[in-house]
Chain A
Amino acid sequence: MVSPEAKKLAEERAARMQAALDLKEPDRVPFTGLGGDVIPAYAGITSYEYEFDFEKNRQAAVKWFTDFPSDSAPRVGLGGLDNQSMGVAFQDYPEIVSGVNSVNGPMNDVLKMKFVRFPGRELDENSARQFIGGKNMEPEEYDQLIADPVKFCFEVIMPRISGGLKDLGSPASLATMARFGLEKARQDAEMAKTMQALMELGYYFAPRGVCLAPLDLISDQLRDIPNLILDLRRYPDKVKAAAEALVEPMVKMGTMSIKAGAKECFIPLHLNEYLSPKQYNEFYWPTLKEVILKLVEAGMKVQVFFEGWHDAHLETILELPAGWGTAYFEKTDVRKAKKLLQGHTCIMGGIDVSDIISLTPAQLDENIKKLFDEMAPGGGFIFSPNIGTCPRETPIENVRAVYEAVEKYGKY
């Protein structure tokens, strides 16, 4: 049972996040919290247990989110790895997309994806899960991708990347899908329990859509980054046409969660830091921008994770309508971003996970104080680590120092 106090706490937290999204000043600086592999370490369980056993995963999450309270909808459940090309393949079946779009450990036991590895399976039981990536498409196949991306992802790519689906139309491949369905049903029920446990602690949940920049889908999932970089010079027209062909599928992926109540779509960027402004503006940004605008048109806010250095392309963000959503930065200095984007874009980020690992509690306290002095005024700021994952070895006294500093300096 969710107590009235827990419900009230959840509402306050949600309101805090919403105020920042609306570019206003909340009561306190909203904080997404830290997470990642440090959660199972803190609970004294292996990464394997955390990634395969819902019961242990839930207990670890409850312990963490009790001891380290934060404001955003907590990211709980088994951790998954990106599998968006398969999401595109099944984009006409939303109930399947939410299970194939990202693959966790038990689901991978069913789908047998070629490019992922999990602790306790291919890896040591305390390793972090790995997405290895790789080339799954030849340059000669651009035309097929352009002609029908959904068909291409289904017929050509999926059999290459999933061991369970390597022979489409065979009993084995159909059986894989049935087992996928059984596993998905099991996981949905387990997730509901985990969410219930966290709601009892005063957290809230909000479904959100996920999609990629069209060019990232091609480079991460199909061509592999170095190949794509060369393609930009060797087959520029094809690459451009392929990115355009993927706009609709990406919008569909992003918006399909609206039915489930999603108000936000998350887009992590990968290629941005590789590209010169010229390439960015020619190959990357036009289709990404189109996707964002269509999501906004559909009534969603968008959270873009600008991975790596985004400094060279920062100004393009201003081409989006004010209030479009959140710019989450990894290496780009949030202070610098604020100067440019204040009043237009909500800014998220602020602390380098490498610092949380390597600095002292006193240094972290000091850094956060300074950061808040500069970033809090005027609102529209969400405090977050620059990367989602703190490793197992993160010193807990440093974690504590971060949460205490937020408590001390976060009041408006």
Chain B
Amino acid sequence: MAVDAKQLAAERAARLKAAVELKEPDRVPFTGIGGDVIAAYAGITSYEFNFDYEKQCQAIIKYVKDFPSDQPVIGMTGLGNHVASMAFSDYPDLYPIISRVDGPTNDILGVDYCRFPGRELDENSSPQFIGREYMSAEEYDELIADPVKFCFEKILPRIVRAFRDMKAPEAHAAMARLALEKAKAGAAMRDMFRQLQELGYAPGGLSVFFAPLDFIGDQLRDIPNLIKDLRRYPDKVKAATEAVLEPLLKVSVNAKGPGVETAMIPLHLNEYLSPALYNEFYWPTLKEGILRLAELGMKSQVFFEGRHDAHLETILELPAGWGTAYFEKTDVRKAKKLLQGHTCIMGGIDVGMVISSTPAKLDEYIKEILGEMMPGGGFILAPNIGNLPRETPIENIRAVYEAVEKYGKY
């Protein structure tokens, strides 16, 4: 890495760190905006982006070169394979192999909830997660008794075609082929990371954690069923959230690469729940998870998807400086009023505007947001949703980056 690239990387990291520590950096840290538009910008299909490692890496490098930011949301393709991560939570070395399903690995595994462009979907679609009910209500006791064993023995065979019969040659071969495939991807990735370093980005990444109730809702019961379960089997649901907490934390530790200090926690059920339900079923184990992650040396970055307004105050139950609250629909200005000096706030760019507005209006919009959010520090500028569609006008993207450049100085 060239000296100036190294220095650039250090500056970027310091900028983000200052914000998380609730201070004012030299400039407002900006994650950049990306997603499907990265493939479009490089002139390749989403199918190519999801199945051809080399093209994917080239596209990312091209995009990051033209649109530099402090922590580019490089398009990690694919979908999480969280049940597998839990089922193999006793095997930390396998986390990189089993934790995500991308195009080629899905060809090997056949994951029930995954749809990929160029396969089940049109070649320019985004990969899709379409969950179903993989666990029946009668199985709560089994889940509670031993979540890891239950996920391995009962759920994985239902979710992954190659694991239908765990004892069969197909299942064993799939594990080996998965590793061989990931190694292939790894070679391309290493090359990409090297180039990213040349461009002034430090290697790193994020660990992950899930609110225990989300794990049950997204991965096992399916959300509509879980909502009913909250009334029909409240005790079992509660016991289940407590049972999955430990293995979920284990997965977070497995996912923590060298130098990683942050765990990403995307929330799903939060906006479905009344404060009463949130406080009874959702928040206690999520809160405990965040506190435990802190003990394990990780700050949390919670992505409060949807509207979190009804539960905003609960964040104050966490110790000041616990981490970052990343908002989707909740107004970051409103959040700032409540959380300033306690929680780093992230978000601010409405992706809908980036798609549909004009460069001039975006310039104005960014100026305004930064004007309100920057003072006092503790703010990271980010799109409210990670994914810009292929059709996003490039001049709008450029306008956002230029505005950040213009108005982002402290």
Contacts and interface: CB of A to CB of B under 8 A. Distances in A.
B179 A180 contact: yes
Tier of interface size on chain B: 20 to 34
Contacts of A189: 183, 187
Nearest to A175: B91
B260 interface: no
A169 B183 contact: no
Given A182-B97, A185-B183, A175 B173 contact: no
B83 to A, nearest CB: 13
Contacts of A318: none
B175 A177 contact: yes
B406 interface: no
Contacts of B93: 179, 182
Contacts of B175: 174-175, 177-178, 180-181
Given A95-B177, A96-B177, A171-B91, A90 B97 contact: no
A185 B87 contact: no
Interface stretch (B31-39, B54-62, B163-171, B310-318): B163-171
A185 B177 contact: no
A123 interface: no
A154 B170 CA distance: 11
A90 B90 CA distance: 26
A88 to B, nearest CB: 11
Interface string B80-120: 00000001101101100110000000000000000000000
B176 A169 contact: no
B65 interface: no
B140 interface: no
A89 B168 CA distance: 11
Contacts of B187: 189
Contacts of A175: 88, 91, 94, 175
A168 B167 CA distance: 5
Nearest to B93: A179
A185 B179 contact: yes
A361 to B, nearest CB: 47
Contacts of B178: 178, 181
Given A169-B166, A178-B98, A185-B184, A96 B91 contact: no
A185 B152 contact: no
A124 interface: no
Given A171-B87, A171-B90, A171-B91, A178 B97 contact: yes
B173 A174 contact: no
B1 interface: no
B180 A177 contact: no
A127 interface: no
Contacts of A95: 176-177, 180
Contacts of B179: 177-182, 184-185
Given A96-B177, A185-B183, A90 B169 contact: yes
B409 interface: no
Contacts of A93: 169, 173, 176-177
A181 B88 CA distance: 16
Contacts of A182: 93, 97, 179, 182-183
A90 B173 contact: yes
Nearest to B88: A171
A178 B94 contact: yes
B172 A165 contact: yes
Contacts of A5: none
A170 B148 CA distance: 12
Given A169-B166, A175-B91, A181 B180 contact: yes
A178 B174 CA distance: 8
Interface string A152-176: 0011000000000100111101110
Tier of interface size on chain A: 20 to 34
Interface string B183-197: 110110000000000
Contacts of A169: 165-168, 171
A177 B166 contact: no
B111 to A, nearest CB: 16
A110 to B, nearest CB: 10
B176 A184 contact: yes
B180 A185 contact: yes
B166 A96 contact: no
A189 B188 CA distance: 13
A53 interface: no
Contacts of B180: 95, 181, 184-185
Residue of B90, B94, B176, B177 with most partner-chain A CB within 10 A: B176
A186 interface: yes
Contacts of B166: 169-170, 174
Contacts of B88: 171, 174-175
A366 interface: no
B172 A177 contact: yes
Nearest to A96: B176
B171 A174 contact: yes
B368 to A, nearest CB: 50
Contacts of A168: 167, 172
Residue of A93, A178, A180, A182 with most partner-chain B CB within 10 A: A178
A280 to B, nearest CB: 34
Contacts of A333: none
A186 B183 contact: yes
Contacts of B183: 181-182, 185-186, 189
A154 B171 CA distance: 12
Residue of A165, A169, A189 with most partner-chain B CB within 10 A: A169
A177 B187 CA distance: 20
A342 B87 CA distance: 62
Interface string B124-152: 00000000000000000000000000001
A92 interface: yes
Contacts of A96: 173, 176-177
A297 B51 CA distance: 37
B197 to A, nearest CB: 21
Interface in A64-101: 89-90, 92-93, 95-96, 99
B169 A178 contact: no
A146 to B, nearest CB: 19
Nearest to A165: B172
Contacts of A165: 172
Interface string A294-309: 0000000000000000
Contacts of A173: 172
Nearest to B167: A169
A113 to B, nearest CB: 16
A173 B163 CA distance: 13
B264 to A, nearest CB: 24
Residue of B94, B152, B171, B179 with most partner-chain A CB within 10 A: B179
18 contacts: A89-B169, A92-B173, A93-B176, A95-B177, A96-B177, A169-B168, A171-B91, A171-B152, A173-B172, A178-B91, A178-B97, A179-B179, A180-B175, A181-B180, A181-B182, A182-B93, A182-B182, A184-B180
Given A93-B173, A96-B173, A189-B187, 10 more contacts: A90-B173, A96-B177, A154-B169, A171-B88, A171-B152, A178-B97, A179-B179, A181-B178, A185-B183, A185-B184
Interface of B: 87-88, 90-91, 93-94, 97-98, 152, 165-169, 171-180, 182-184, 186-187
Interface of A: 89-90, 92-93, 95-96, 99, 154-155, 165, 168-171, 173-175, 177-182, 184-186, 189
